[in-house]
């Protein structure tokens, strides 16, 4: 049986779900897995399927079998050894390389294997329930009017509820509806900065945010991050002391590109430091709902913020549908009022249909069901991708395995250039994003980002093998 067949079978699904449970700590190293018979019972499969699933776990080094005793979880070697943190870098005139526009045209070409995109496979989208929400919205009289410039109130209420936490209750008046997360980030920064202001940014960071810095003529200081735990707080403090930035831009919950998750204690510490030195934070939370394990998302910075430090931007693009173009900014009321004035001047209001459809969908049973299934499948998929890259890529390749989202940050062995990989891959109609696009100072040339949200099948496996072959040759 080939690798491809394996990834598509029932036993590989069972194996992936068990891996997720091991990774989440439900079965710590040394613990015993449920017996084969129990697995048959829970998963409604026959014994040979359960044996195959355990075989995969053994092959991948997650468990070993002890005669007459059962199967035990092995200690897992760190797949991505601690990163060597670089020094913060000052970038006076941020500009985004020309490569971004050619990359965008590759991403729009349906003939490409879309490893370069940061959108989940369309098969994950909740089509039929969204259609129902659309139909319902067309019967609503609000569709035939201009809506409130800050967004339809029902939608703002739903978002306020979902974004609240124990420490912080968000009110609908603090929510402003936007055209995706990109517009929200653009508005948030343009309303609080002027050209020449200094902004600290975590690095690597998604290039959409760099484009905004460049348009607004802001100065940037790149702060290093760990691909597993995010922003380096020591560097943050040293940058604050030396450069006095006005803002910090961060994606603390499943970042783009690394998928890193800042631990809760670090998030609290970050808020303390920012409060002490008076630095405001732009939190991009677009992947926040996509944890692989459990149904409770990691707390956002906003939900922990009791002092009004955080402006949060997010959207439905990664968790529901990028085509809706429904995003939001959550910030203090005065900023929402300023945004409202801008909206009135530029467009009066956003179209009502996608806003109403989103408000019917958000928080519904169908939404919760979709998220539960989507997260569970993403967890397995991301691990399957990580394994395939480690198998087909040259020795010394490292993969940072995220706890949420669907992006994989991969490091090639020293001396290999991901720009060359990208160029050769494009000739074979495979897209990927080279690491240098996630830095303003030309870093990460031996890293690249992969969309592990594309469903696995023979074509995808063959594309990974092709990439691996190119990576060995360059
Ligand atoms: C971190 C991050 N922020 C913002 C965006 C843009 O989101 P939207 O499509 O909602 O404008 C993306 C999309 O890739 C993203 O990954």
Q: Which of 15-29, 194-208, 282-296 has the lowest mean pLDDT?
A: 15-29
Q: Smallest Cα–Cα separation from 94: which of 236, 226, 229, 249? A: 249
Q: Per-residue pLDDT averaged across 318-325, rounded?
A: 96
> What confidence category does residue 6 fall into, taking pLDDT thresholds of 50, 70 and 90?
very low
> If you average pLDDT over residues 238-263, what whole number do you get?
96
Kindly give the distance from the C-alpha atom of residue 390 to the centroid of ligand 1, in angstroms, as a whole number.
27
Mean pLDDT of 177-186: 98
The CATH T-level fold of domain 3-73 is: Arc Repressor Mutant, subunit A (1.10.10)
Distance CA 116, CA 323 (A): 18
- What's the rounded Cα separation, in Å, for the pair 363 and 23? 28
Question: What are 70-109's pLDDT values in tens digits?
Answer: 898 876 655 555 556 678 888 888 887 778 888 888 888 8
In which residue ranges of the chain is CATH 1.10.10.10 found?
A: 3-73
pLDDT of 8 > 70? The answer is no
Distance 438 CA to ligand 1 centre (A): 13
- CB distance 56 to 18 below 8 Å: no
* Residue 65 scores a pLDDT above 90: no
- What's residue 173's pLDDT? 97
- Pairing outcome for strands 230-231 and 219-226: antiparallel
Q: What is the DSSP annotation of 173-238?
A: GGEEEEEHHHHHHHHHHHTT--TT-EEEEEES--HHHHHHHHHTT-EEEEEEEETTTEE-HHHHHH
DSSP summary character for residue 433: E
pLDDT number for residue 144: 92
Q: Does the pLDDT value for residue 1 go beyond 70?
A: no
- The kind and range of the H/E element at 91 are strand 89-91
Q: What class, spelled out in words, does domain 89-95+144-365 have in CATH?
A: alpha beta
What is the sign of the dihedral through the CA atoms of 445, 400, 249 and 284?
Answer: positive
Does 423 score more than 70 pLDDT?
yes
Distance in Å, CA 182 to ligand 1 centroid: 6
Test site for ligand 1: of 256, 258, 261, 313, most ligand atoms within 8 A of the Cβ: 256
| pLDDT > 70: percent of the chain | 95
Q: Give the list of residues 6+ apart from residue 355 with CB closer than 8 angstroms, or none.
A: 147, 151, 152, 155, 177, 326
Name which of 263, 293, 385 is nearest 24 in CA terms.
293
Q: What is the pLDDT of residues 126-170, one digit of tens each?
A: 999 999 999 999 999 999 999 999 999 999 999 999 999 988 999
Cβ < 6 A, ligand 1 pocket: 118, 180-182, 206, 208, 251, 256, 284, 286, 315, 317, 322, 327
Residues 34-48: what's their mean pLDDT?
90
Provide, rounded to the nearest whole percent, the portion of the chain with pLDDT above 90.
Answer: 70
- What is the distance in A from the centroid of ligand 1 to the CA of 426? 23
SS3 370: helix
In this prediction the pTM is 0.85
Least confident segment among 3-17, 43-57, 446-460: 3-17
Q: What's the rounded mean pLDDT across residues 13-38? A: 84
pLDDT at 63: 84
Q: Which of 6-20, 52-66, 160-174 has the lowest mean pLDDT?
A: 6-20
- Residue intervals in the chain for CATH 3.40.640.10: 89-95+144-365
Mean pLDDT over each residue of the chain, to the nearest integer: 91
Which atom of ligand 1 lies nearest, measured to the CA of 325?
10
Degrees to nearest 5, angle at CA 422 with 417 and 426: 155
pLDDT at 84: 64
**So what's the pLDDT on residue 4?**
41
Answer whether residue 2 shows pLDDT above 70.
no
For residue 185, the CA-to-ligand 1 centroid distance in Å is 9
Residues in the chain: 474
Q: How confident is the model at residue 7 (pLDDT cuts 50, 70, 90)?
A: very low
Q: Residue 202: which pLDDT band, with cuts at 50, 70 and 90?
A: very high
């Amino acid at each position: 049986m080939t690798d491809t067949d394996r990834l598509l079978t029932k036993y590989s699904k069972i194996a992936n779900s068990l891996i997720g449970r091991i990774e989440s700590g439900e079965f710590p190293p040394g613990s015993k897995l449920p017996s084969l018979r129990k697995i048959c019972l829970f998963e409604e499969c026959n014994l040979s399927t359960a044996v195959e699933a355990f075989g995969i776990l053994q092959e991948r080094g997650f468990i070993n079998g002890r005669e007459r005793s059962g199967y035990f979880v092995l200690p897992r070697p760190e797949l991505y050894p601690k990163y060597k943190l670089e020094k913060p870098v000052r970038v006076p005139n941020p500009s985004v390389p020309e490569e971004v526009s050619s990359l965008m045209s590759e991403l729009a070409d349906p003939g490409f294997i879309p490893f370069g995109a940061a959108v989940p496979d369309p098969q994950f989208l909740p089509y039929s329930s969204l259609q129902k929400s659309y139909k319902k919205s067309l019967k609503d009289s609000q569709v035939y009017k201009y809506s409130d410039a800050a967004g339809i109130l029902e939608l703002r209420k739903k978002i306020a509820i979902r974004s609240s936490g124990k420490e912080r209750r968000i009110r609908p008046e603090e929510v402003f509806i936007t055209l995706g997360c990109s517009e929200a980030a653009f508005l948030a920064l343009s309303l609080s900065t002027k050209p020449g202001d200094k902004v600290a940014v975590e690095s690597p960071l998604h290039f959409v945010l760099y484009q905004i810095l460049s348009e607004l003529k802001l100065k940037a200081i790149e702060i290093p991050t760990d691909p597993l735990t995010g922003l380096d707080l020591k560097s943050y403090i040293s940058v604050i002391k030396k450069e006095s930035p006005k803002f910090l831009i961060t994606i603390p919950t499943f970042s783009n590109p690394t998928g890193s998750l800042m631990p809760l204690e670090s998030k609290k510490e970050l808020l303390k430091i920012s409060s002490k030195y008076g630095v405001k934070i732009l939190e991009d939370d677009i992947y926040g709902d996509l944890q692989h394990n459990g149904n409770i998302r990691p707390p956002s910075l906003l939900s922990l913020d009791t002092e009004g430090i955080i402006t949060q931007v997010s959207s439905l693009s990664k968790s529901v549908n990028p085509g809706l173009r429904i995003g939001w900014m959550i910030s203090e009321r005065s900023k929402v009022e300023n945004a409202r004035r801008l909206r009135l001047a530029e467009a009066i209001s956003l179209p009502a249909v996608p806003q109403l459809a989103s408000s019917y969908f958000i928080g519904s049973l169908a939404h919760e069901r979709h998220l539960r299934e989507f997260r569970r499948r993403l967890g397995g998929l991301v691990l399957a991708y990580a394994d395939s890259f480690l198998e087909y890529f040259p020795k010394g390749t490292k993969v940072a395995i995220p706890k949420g989202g669907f992006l994989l940050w991969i490091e090639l062995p020293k001396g290999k250039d991901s720009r060359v990989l990208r160029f050769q891959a494009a000739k074979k109609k495979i897209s990927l994003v080279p690491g240098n696009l996630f830095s303003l100072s030309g870093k990460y040339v031996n890293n690249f980002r992969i969309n592990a949200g594309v469903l696995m099948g023979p074509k995808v496996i063959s594309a990974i093998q092709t990439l691996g072959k190119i990576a060995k040759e360059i």
